[in-house]
Structure 1
Amino acid sequence: MDLSRLHHLAVEAMRSRGLLPAFAPTALQEAEAARHAGPQRPGDIRDLRHLTWFSIDNDDTRDLDQLSVAEPLAGGAARLLVAVADVDAMVRPGGAVDAHASINTTSVYTAAGVFPMLPEALSTDLTSLHEGQERLAVVVEMVVQPDGGVAASELYRAAVLNRARLTYERVSQWLDGADAALPQLPQVPGLAQQLRLHDALAAQLRQWRHQRGALNVSTVSARPVFEDGQLVDLRADEKNRAKDLIADLMIAANGATARFLSHRGFPSLRRFLQSPRRWDRIEALAASYGTTLPTEPDAVALDHFLTRRREADPQGFADLSLRIVKMLGPGEYAAAAPAATHLGHFGLAVSDYAHSTAPNRRFPDLVTQRLVKAALAGDPPAYAFEALLEIARHCTLQEDNANRVERQVLKAAAGWLMQDRIGETFAAIVTGAAPKGTFVRTARPLLEGRLVRGFEGADVGDALQVRLLAVDPEQGFIDFERA
C-alpha cells in the first residue's frame, strides 16, 4: 500500500467521523492574507529576544509551539520561562480559519500524513516559533524551588527569538553522555548550560509530582516507516530523556496557566482525568505481582507499585503501563468556574491543569490563550462559561474521533503489512472489552486488532497469546483468535 491510497483512506475516515480533511477556500485565503499582513505588535509587550530561547521537538516537526529558557537563582531555585506561540494574534475569532479549527479542534496525525488544525501558511510559518525568527508569544514565568514546587508564577506577552531548534533524539543522547553532535552548541553561547539546567529542573518538577502520586508510566506508540513511498515497518516511538524534559516543563506551564485564570476570576477549560472507575481491576493487576493496593483509588500507592515494577522488569514495563493506562480511561475537557477545585488530573497528580502550550495543534489551547490575553488586557473573558461548556464537550468528542481516525488508518497500514503473516502467533494485551468487540495490541510489530475467537472472559489489561486469522487492509480489519 502506497501513501496515496493511505491518504484517500484517511480522508474518507475523517469525513465519516465529522472531521474536515481540507480547508475551505475562504480559510486558505484568510490565512494567506494574515501571513502577508504579519502580526500587529502591540506596545505593551516585553522584549525578550535577547534571551537564549530554544526549542526541542521531533526532527520533522514544523509547527513549533513552545520555547523555553531558565536562569539559576539563590538557594538552588531557578526561574523558568516557557514561551507559547501567540496564535491568537493571527487567527481572528469568528473567522474562516477559526471556524475550521473549532470544528476539528485538533490536528490529526495519521500514517498517511498530518491534517493540520490551522493552514500551513500559519501553523508551519507565521505562528511557528522557527529558529532565527522573531515571534510574539505568551510567556509563563515560574520560580521553581529546589524541591520542584512552583513557588510563584506570572504570565505576560513578549517578543521572543528561537536561538536553537533542537531534536528529542539528539538532545536525549547528549544528556545521556553519548557522542551526539549538537551543532548549535558552539554557535549559541550558554546553550549547553541551558540544557543541563533544564534537565535538572525537569527532574525536580517530576519528583515533586511523583511524591504526590503522578503516575510513572511509559507507553509506546506506533510510528509508520516508509521507504520510497511504501510502508515497510511499524516501529515503537518510545519516550526518551528529552521528551520527558519537555513534558515536565509543559505540565508546569499548564498548571500555572490554570491557576492564573482562576486567580483573575476567569472561567477556563480544564483537562480532567477522574479517579479510576475500574480501580478493582487495577487492584487485581497489582495483586498478580504480589502488591496490595488500597481499596480506594490512591495515586501515590499506584505510582509506588509502578516504580517497583519499572525497576524489576524494565523490558516489560511498557506493556504494564499500557494495561494501567487503559484501566484509567481517557482524559476529557471540562469547563471550570473560577473557583472550581474538583477538576484535577489523577494521572498527573495536579489539581489545576489547562491545556495551553500547543495552540497550533489544539483548539482548547487557543481558547485558553484568548482567555489569558483578555485577562492580561483587563477585558471581560473571551468566552462565557456556557460557551466553554459546549466547547469542552465538542473538543472531547472530536479528540475521540481524531484518535479513531488515526487508529483506523494505522490499522489499514498494518493490515497491508501483515497480510503475509496469517497463522503466526503474537504476544498481546487486551486494550478494549465491550459489547461491540474485544481488541488486543501486539508488541512486535506494534498494532491493534480484534479478538474474534476466544474473547470470552478477556478484560482490559489481560495479557494473551493470539494467532492472526485474517486481515483486510482496505477496511482496516485485523482479526485474531486466542492461541
Structure 2
Amino acid sequence: MKTRRPHPHDIDLRTIAWHAMEKYGFEPRFPPPVMDEVNAMQERTFVDVPKDMRDLRTLLWSSIDNHDSQDLDQLEYCERVPDGTIRVQVAIADVDSYVQKQSPTDEYAAHNGTSVYTGVTTFPMLPDRLSHGITSLLQDKDRSAVIIEFLVRPDGSFSPGEVYRALVRNKAKLVYESVGEWLEGTGPLPKGIQDVPGLEEQLHLQNDAAKLLRKHRRDEGALEFDTIEPEVVMENGEIRGLVALTPNPARALIEEFMVAANGTMVARLGAAGVPMIQRVVKTPRNWAGIILAAATLGETLPEMPDAKALAKFLMKEKTADPLHFPDLSLAVIKLMGPGEYMMLEPGATPTGHFALAVIDYTHATAPNRRYVDIINQRQAKAILMGKPGPYSSAALSERAMWLTDREKASKKVKRFMRKSVAALLLEDSIGKTFDALVTGAADKGTYVRLLVPPAEGRVVKGEQGLLVGQKVRVRLLKTDPYNGFIDFECIGREKMG
C-alpha cells in the first residue's frame, strides 16, 4: 500500500521546532516551579524615586527593534556636549531585580542560556510575563534600568563613562525597517517619531554618533560580512516565505551603540577588579585558508593575521561582486572560527574580538534574551552597592563554557528550522528549475543556495565538477521538512574563470 505524502498544511513546523530544541539539549517548556514563581511576581510601580536611582524618565528614550519584538532590552538617548563630543546613554532592562540568583527561573534561564528564535516559534529564555511584560522596556511604561554611558569623540573613538541605575520611560517603540528607510532617505518619517516632539532630531543625533563609531571601527579593521540567513515571513500564523535581511542604518546604529556599551561594561568591571566573562573571537584559527581564499580572487593577504588587510579585501570584494559576497563572507567566518565566552581574571590581558576590531568586549545589553547579560548585570549592580561580585572566577569559567555551548546549539536549531521551512515552502515545486550558486563542494556533499527563494539544498545528481561560487541551474527533486532536506539535480552551469 502506498503511503500518502503529507500535504504541506499537514506538517506542524512548531512540533518540528520543539523536537529540534530537545535534540540539541534545550528545555522547551517552562517547568511548573518557574511559572508559579513568575506568576506570583508583582510588577513594580514607582511613586517615589528609589534612593539608588536617578530619575531619567523625561529624556527622549526610544527603542529600535524588530516589528514583532516585545522583549525590549535597551533604549537609547544622546546629547551633544559643548566640547564636540556626543554623550550616549543606553538603558538596559533591569532583569536581575525580578530574577533572583539560583531561583527556579534563574536556574532554567542558566540552563537554556539564550532565547531561541526559529522564525516559526520563539522559545524565550524567560517567560513572556517577564520578557514581554514586567522587565521589558515597553513604550509608556516606567521601568528600572541599568544605564551604560559613553562619550563619542569627533574622530569616532569612544571613552567609557559611568554605569548606574535609573528610572526610564520609553517614548517610542520603533522598528528597524521603517527607521532605516527614513534614515536612508528612501522612506517617510515613521509615525512613532512624528508623534514625539524632538524625537526626529534625537534620532538624527544618534545616527551621527553611530556613523562616527562605525567609521572608526572600520579604520581599525572591523570586518563587515553579508551572510544570507533567511528570516521566515509569517502572516496570521501561516508561513508565507523566506526573506534575506538587508543591512540598514537603523540596525547599524544599534550595533554600534551595543559594541560601545559592552566595551564600557568591561571597563567598569575591570576598574572594580572583579572577574568577568568576555566575548571573544580569537585570532583566526585558519588564517592560511583565508589567504588561499583571497588568492583565488587575485588578492594577497599578509602571512600573519591582519584585521585591517582582511577588512580592506572584504570591502573591495563586496563592491566588485555583491552576488557572491555572502558566500565569501560565510567561508571567511568559518575559517576564522566561532566566537566564544571566556572568563577574564582581574588585571589579565584580554583576548579581544578580532572581527569587531575591539579588545574589550562582552555581552551585557540583552538580559531578557541572553543569560551572560544577567551575569554581567549582577556584577555591575554589586559594584554599585559596594559589595563583592556574586560570582567566583571558577563559577564564571564554568558558566562561560556552558553558555558558549548553548549559543552554538541555538544556531544549530535555527539553521535546522530554516531548512525545514524552506523544504516546506518548496513542497509544491518538485520538478521546477531555479538559478543557484554553489556554496559547498567537498567529499561530504555538494550544496547550492537558490537565488530566489534563498533556500539551501544538496545536489545529488549532476554534481560532478561543480566549484564553490559557480552559478548553476538546478531542478528540485525532493523535499523533506521533517529532516530539513532539499535535493537538487544540476542541469546547467556557467563556466568558471
TM-score (norm 1): 0.93
Alpha-carbon contact 1:216-1:303 (below 8 Å) kept: yes
Match of 1:427 among 430, 436, 451: 436
Q: Are residues 265 and 466 of structure 1, via their aligned partners in 2, closer, same or farther at CA, if it must alter by over 3 Å?
A: farther
Q: Are residues 367 and 429 of structure 1, via their aligned partners in 2, closer, same or farther at CA, if it must alter by over 3 Å?
A: farther
Q: Are residues 272 and 179 of structure 1, via their aligned partners in 2, closer, same or farther at CA, if it must alter by over 3 Å?
A: closer
Aligned amino acid, residue 411 of structure 2: N
Correspondence 1:131-170 to 2 at 5 A: 131-170=139-178
How far residue 297 of structure 1 moved from its aligned partner, in angstroms, is: 1.2
Alpha-carbon contact 2:223-2:307 (below 8 Å) kept: yes
Q: Which has the higher mean CA deviation after the structures are superposed, 38-47 or 128-137?
A: 38-47
C-alpha distance in 2 between matches for 1:249 and 1:482: 45
C-alpha distance in 1 between matches for 2:473 and 2:152: 48
Q: Confirm or deny that 1:9 pairs with 2:16.
A: yes
Match of 2:379 in 1: 371
Match of 1:335 in 2: 343
Aligned length in residues: 481
Aligned amino acid, residue 287 of structure 2: W
C-alpha distance in 1 between matches for 2:486 and 2:170: 44
Q: Are residues 428 and 255 of structure 1, via their aligned partners in 2, closer, same or farther at CA, if it must alter by over 3 Å?
A: same
Post-superposition CA distance 1:376-416 (Å, at most 9, x none): 11111111111111111111111111111122222111112
Aligned amino acid, residue 223 of structure 1: E
Match of 1:202 in 2: 210
Match of 2:197 among 173, 189, 194: 189
Aligned amino acid, residue 255 of structure 1: G
Post-superposition CA distance 1:162-189 (Å, at most 9, x none): 1111111111111122341422334322
C-alpha distance in 2 between matches for 1:235 and 1:98: 35
Post-superposition CA distance 1:277-320 (Å, at most 9, x none): 22222212222332211111110001111222233334543333
Alpha-carbon contact 2:436-2:473 (below 8 Å) kept: yes
Match of 1:405 in 2: 413
Q: Which has the higher mean CA deviation after the structures are superposed, 24-33 or 469-478?
A: 469-478
Q: In structure 2, the residue corresponding to 1:160 is in which secondary structure?
A: strand
C-alpha distance in 2 between matches for 1:194 and 1:324: 37
Post-superposition CA distance 1:173-217 (Å, at most 9, x none): 111223414223343222111111111110111111111110122
Match of 1:26 in 2: 33
Alpha-carbon contact 2:436-2:448 (below 8 Å) kept: no
Match of 1:121 in 2: 129
Q: In structure 1, the residue corresponding to 2:17 is in which secondary structure?
A: helix
C-alpha distance in 2 between matches for 1:430 and 1:2: 30
Match of 1:415 in 2: 423
Larger radius of gyration: 2
Correspondence 1:70-469 to 2 at 5 A: 70-422=78-430, 424-430=433-439, 440-452=448-460, 463=470, 465=472, 467=474, 468-469=476-477
Q: Are residues 269 and 160 of structure 1, via their aligned partners in 2, closer, same or farther at CA, if it must alter by over 3 Å?
A: same
Alpha-carbon contact 1:149-1:205 (below 8 Å) kept: yes
Alpha-carbon contact 2:327-2:439 (below 8 Å) kept: no
Alpha-carbon contact 1:3-1:112 (below 8 Å) kept: no
How far residue 253 of structure 1 moved from its aligned partner, in angstroms, is: 0.4
Post-superposition CA distance 1:341-371 (Å, at most 9, x none): 2321110001110100000000111111111
Alpha-carbon contact 2:114-2:125 (below 8 Å) kept: yes
Post-superposition CA distance 1:225-250 (Å, at most 9, x none): 23454323211122211001110110
Q: Which has the higher mean CA deviation after the structures are superposed, 399-408 or 228-237?
A: 228-237
How far residue 130 of structure 1 moved from its aligned partner, in angstroms, is: 0.5
Alpha-carbon contact 2:115-2:122 (below 8 Å) kept: yes
C-alpha distance in 2 between matches for 1:365 and 1:383: 13
C-alpha distance in 2 between matches for 1:314 and 1:287: 18
C-alpha distance in 2 between matches for 1:448 and 1:215: 25
Q: In structure 2, the residue corresponding to 1:211 is in which secondary structure?
A: helix
How far residue 147 of structure 1 moved from its aligned partner, in angstroms, is: 0.7
Aligned amino acid, residue 29 of structure 2: A
Alpha-carbon contact 2:137-2:170 (below 8 Å) kept: yes
Q: Are residues 279 and 81 of structure 1, via their aligned partners in 2, closer, same or farther at CA, if it must alter by over 3 Å?
A: same
Structure 2 unaligned spans of 5+: 1-7, 492-497
How far residue 271 of structure 1 moved from its aligned partner, in angstroms, is: 0.9
* RMSD (Å) for aligned C-alpha atoms: 2.4
Post-superposition CA distance 1:131-155 (Å, at most 9, x none): 1101111111111110111134111
Q: Which has the higher mean CA deviation after the structures are superposed, 473-482 or 198-207?
A: 473-482
Structure 1 unaligned spans of 5+: none
Q: Which has the higher mean CA deviation after the structures are superposed, 443-452 or 22-31?
A: 443-452
Q: Are residues 384 and 410 of structure 1, via their aligned partners in 2, closer, same or farther at CA, if it must alter by over 3 Å?
A: same
Post-superposition CA distance 1:413-461 (Å, at most 9, x none): 111222344453542343696x8666554442222334556778989x7
C-alpha distance in 2 between matches for 1:170 and 1:186: 12
Alpha-carbon contact 1:38-1:126 (below 8 Å) kept: no
C-alpha distance in 2 between matches for 1:111 and 1:267: 36
Q: In structure 1, the residue corresponding to 2:75 is in which secondary structure?
A: strand
TM-score (norm 2): 0.90
Q: Are residues 464 and 306 of structure 1, via their aligned partners in 2, closer, same or farther at CA, if it must alter by over 3 Å?
A: same
C-alpha distance in 1 between matches for 2:247 and 2:315: 16
Give the % identical residues. Answer: 43
C-alpha distance in 2 between matches for 1:376 and 1:282: 44
Q: Which has the higher mean CA deviation after the structures are superposed, 183-192 or 345-354?
A: 183-192
C-alpha distance in 1 between matches for 2:379 and 2:352: 20
Q: Which has the higher mean CA deviation after the structures are superposed, 351-360 or 211-220?
A: 211-220
C-alpha distance in 2 between matches for 1:45 and 1:166: 26
Aligned amino acid, residue 392 of structure 1: A
Q: Are residues 179 and 410 of structure 1, via their aligned partners in 2, closer, same or farther at CA, if it must alter by over 3 Å?
A: closer
